Structure 1
Amino acid sequence: MTIPPRLRRALIRLNRDTSFLALGAPLHLFTGFALFMMFGLVWEIIEGRDSTAPVVLAFALVLTGISAPALTAAQRRRFRRLLGIDIASPGWRRPWRQFGYHCLAGTLFGALEALTVGLLLAGVSAALVPVWIYALPAHWRTEHVGYATQTAYLSVAGLIVLAVVPSLAAAVVRLESQTVPSLLGRSREEDLAQRVEDLTESRAGAVHAAGAERRRIERDLHDGAQQRLVSLALNLGLAKATLTDLSPEARQVIDAAHRGAKEAIEELSSLVRGLHPAVLDELGLDAALSGLAARAPLPVRLRVDLPQRLAPAVEAVAYFVVSEALTNVAKHAQEASRADVTVALLGEILRVVIADDGLGGADAAKGSGLTGLVQRVRSVDGTFRMSSPVGGPTVMSVELPCPR
C-alpha cells in the first residue's frame, strides 16, 4: 500500500512537531517546578514557619543560575536537531535572559507542550477504544450492554482530537521558534556586531589575497617575461656590435628591434612596479617611497618617520596612495612645480600627507584617479581627506590604522 505524498509529509511533520514538544515539556516543567518550589520557600520565609528556608532558597537560586547554561544548551540542541534552527550561543552575556526564559516563558511553553502531547495521547487512546474493548473478555461485553454507543462516542471524539492536534502542535512549534531564539540566542545588536566582525575579517582576507596575487604576478613577470626581454635586447645589441657586414636595411631593422625591446623593458618594469614593487617587501616602505620620489616627473621632498615595519597590506596601500597621488599631481595639477610627501606613524595610525603647490581645484567626486585612491584607502578602514581650494595648494591626508 502506497501512502499519498501529501499524507506522508503531514505524518512526518506531525512526528517532528510532537517529538519536539515531547522533548521540551520535561525541560520546561522541571524549571517550572523549581520556580514553584522557590515561591513556596519565599512564602515560608514571609510566614516565618521554617528557619532553614532562607538557606534552602539561596541554594536553590545558586543551583538555578548554575544550571541555566546547561538547560540553554539542551534547548539549543533540541531546536537544531529537530527543527534545523541553529540558535547562536549567547555566551555569558545577559544571563538574566536565560534565567527569565527558563523560569517564566519556559513554564508557559511547558504547559502548552504538555497539553498538546496529552491531547495526542488522549486522542489516540480514545480512537482505539473499540480495539481495546474487543481485547477484553467476552463476559464483560455481555454485562455492559450499552458499551457500543459509548465506544462510538469516544472513538469519534478521539478522531476529532487527532484532527486538531497537528494544527495545535504546529502553532506551538511556530510560537517557540519565533520567540526562543531571541531569548536564548544573541540579541540583534550582538548579531550585527558579529556580522560586522565577519565582514571585516572577510575583507581583510580579500585584501591579503589580492596583495598576494599581485606579488605573484610581479614575480612571474620579473622572472619570466622581463628576463626574456632583457636577453633579447642584449642579443640584439651584440648583433649590432659584432655583425659589421650587415646591409643598411638589416641594420635598420635590428636598431628598431633593439629600441623596441628596450622600450618594452621600461614599460614592463613600470608595470611591475605598479603591481607590487619588490623593494617594498625587501626593504620596507621608506626605501620604496624613496625610489618612487626619485622617479617622479617633478621634484619631491620626502619625509618618512617609521620606527618599525608595518603590516604588508598597510604598507602596500600607503605606497600606492603616494604613487597615485604623485601621478595625479604630474598629470592634473596646474602649474605644480614640486610636491611634499610626509609619512609618519602616530601611535597606531599611519598618517600620509601629500601636498603640491599647484592651482588647486581638484575634486575627488569628479574622478581624476582620486576615486580609486579613496577606495584603496577604505579597503583597510582608512580615512581620506583632501583640501584643494581654487588657487591652491592641494593637500591630501590619509590615515591608515596600524593595530599592534
Structure 2
Amino acid sequence: MQRTGTILATVAHLALLGSMGIPVLITIVVLTATGIGTLVVLVGFLLLALALLLMFAVAWFERERIAGLYRAPVPPAVFRDSPRTDWLRVPHRLLRIVTDGQHWRAILSFFLASVFGGITLPLLGLVGLGVPLALAGLGAAETVTIPLTSFAAPVEWAPLLGILALAAGVAGTIGLAIAHRNVTVGLLVPDDRERLEQQARDERDRRHGAVRAADLDRTRIERDLHDGVQPRLVSIAMQLGMARDRIEADPEGAKALIEEAHASSKSAVTELRQLARGIHVAVLDDRGLDAAVSALAARSPIPVEVDARLDRRCSRDAETAVYFAIAEAITNAQKHARASRIRVAIRTRQEPDGPTDAQGQVAQAQPGTVPAAHPHATLWARIEDDGIGGAERQIGGGIDGLAHRVAGVGGTLTLTSPAGGPTAIEVTVPCAS
C-alpha cells in the first residue's frame, strides 16, 4: 500500500513538473543569456543575479521534493565559504558556490523530472482514452470513433483497443515513476563512496585547521615569551646584579634595586600565569565553560554580559575552541574596537535529527544530571560588542587563528563587522568533537 501511494504521488509530481518544469528552466536560460549579453550595463548583472537566485531556488525545491517524496537522506545545500581575506573573497565565494556539483545535480534532477513529466502527460491521456474505449462495447452503436482522431473502428474492436491503450498508459506511467525514483535518488543521495570521500575531505580540512591553529599558537607563545616575559626576566637579572655590586657601597640603593626586582618578578609571574592560561584553562576542565567565561568576563576592564544556557557538558576540544574564541573576541574588543560593552551568548543546541520528546521538541536534560555530549548536539556562541567595527580576518591574525582552531574540531566561525559596528563573531562546534 505504501509503495502504491508513493507511485501515485510520483505520478502527480511528474504531471505537475511536466506542465511547469520546462518553462521554469527556459526562463532561467533566457535570463542567463540576456544577462550575459547585457553585461556592459547594470541590468546584465541584475539579470544574472536573478537567474542565479532562480537556480538556487530550483535546486532547493528539488532537494526538498525528493526528500519529502521518498523520505530519502538528501543532504542539505552547503554554500561554501572562501578562505580568502582580500577583496576577491566575495567573487571567489560566488565562484565556489556556482561550481559546486550538488547544486547542478539538483537542477539536472529537476530537468529530468520535467522531461519525464512531459512524457507522463500523454501517457495519462492514453489512460483517459482507454477507459471509454474499453466501455464502448456496452453501447448500441456498430462503430466507435477513437477520441482525438477521425478513425472509426468496429465496436467489437473497441474493448481490445481500450484495454491495450489502458495497459500501455498505466505501464508507461508506472515505469516512468520507478525510473524517476531511481534517477533522482541516485543523483541527490550520495552513495557510500561519495560519502567516504566527503568524510575524507572534511577530515583533511579539520587536520589542516588543527595544524594551522597549533602553528599560530606556537608563534603567539614565542612572541609573548620573547617580547614580554624574557625582557622582564633579563631586567630582573640586571637589577639583582647591580644590587649585588652596590650592596656594600650603597646599601640603600641596593635595597631599592632589590625592591624593583621583586616587583618585576611579581609582574613576570603574572605574565607567566596569563600565558599559561592561554595554553590551558584549568577552570574550564574543572567547572565548565560557563564558569570559565564568567571568570574571563570578571577580569575584563570592559563590562561583559554573559548569557550561558548550557544543558550538557560538551567534549573538552569543543569547549576549549569556544572558550578561546570568546577570549580572543573580548581581547580584540578591548584593544581595537573601542567598545563600551560586550555581550556573550552561549547555547547548546540539538540538531533536528537528535532526540525529541513527544511534542517534537528537543529533549532536555533532567534536573540535576549532566548529559553526555550527543552526536547531534552543537555548542554555539555569539560575541558582540558595540565598538567601531571594521574587523577583518587577516592571515596570521588572531581571528584567522581562531577560525583554524574552530575548523580543527569540525566547527565554523562567522565574522560580521561592518564599518561603524557592531562586531559579532558566531562560533558553532559539534558537541562531540
TM-score, normalization: structure 1?
A: 0.42
Ranked by relative contact order (alpha carbons within 8 Å, sequence separation 6 or more), the top structure is 2
Which has the larger Rg? 1
